[in-house]
Copies of this chain bind each other. A is one copy, B any other.
């Protein structure tokens, strides 16, 4: 592993100046500091850290987490609690594409003294996600898998098992024309759920119709672009890739004077607090978000200790409530 002396030698400066650069001292120039950091990253330098000074961060993009009824809340609080028990200090960093173009991921992490990070809500085209192919910083991604880099791990919920049970439930209620309103196209989780839906339909010996499958996004308002077309093509049930999408679908159906579940059944995904308070209460595929956060920490702590877990997957739980009933025949 590279030392402060290696960085000093490479740059032809004193180890003292390197330390200043790494520690953000104010008496060296910004350009010298940048040179120190870039060289440190290039040589794979890792800061030594003491028991009471273990800093990690959570980076969040495209995901709401501020209040308990939002998807990210319990994931983050589960992570924070697990981290606190092991004396890590956790910083939450909302991020976006602009921030990511300003500075390389590894440089950002080193500069701020973070030993590792948990990334939520990132999309495949994000700069930081692309840089994860080669990062040496221990990193855990929710719902994103990076191949061939032992420093990066994936945590998520088994997509197939939940969707399979939803489809079998609908089949037992005599639904045959099942629509699937998926999330944002540009995310790994959406691709996984697309595959899971097709595989589950095949497993249930049902035909998936192209006209009944669409990509939306993970918000309520994507429903209005697709519900009408699903209905026109004869859907008797709509499986949604999130509870928010399902809530939007139910509003859309209500505007068309259709009753859930009498006229059409709806299933959500996640079981956020909203799900059981909708009218009718929502049948959904539950992800245990506290445990997702907890598991993400277990994985990150393992990577920091050079235990190269590549994935931890949790079981979903299929929760049957009032938004599904037998298909109109």
Contact = CB atoms under 8 A, between A and B. Distances in A.
A298 B298 CA distance: 9
Nearest to A158: B310
B312 A309 contact: yes
A291 to B, nearest CB: 5
Contact of A313 (B165, B295, B310): B310
A161 interface: yes
A317 interface: yes
A310 B156 CA distance: 10
A147 interface: yes
A314 B312 CA distance: 9
A317 B294 CA distance: 26
Contacts of A315: 150, 308-310
A27 interface: no
A313 B150 CA distance: 12
A274 interface: no
A250 to B, nearest CB: 28
Given A298-B298, A309-B312, A312-B311, A317 B158 contact: no
Interface in A265-310: 288, 291, 294-295, 298, 307-310
Contact of A310 (B150, B161, B298): B161
B313 A288 contact: no
Contacts of A291: 307-309
A148 interface: yes
Contacts of A295: 307, 309
Nearest to A150: B315
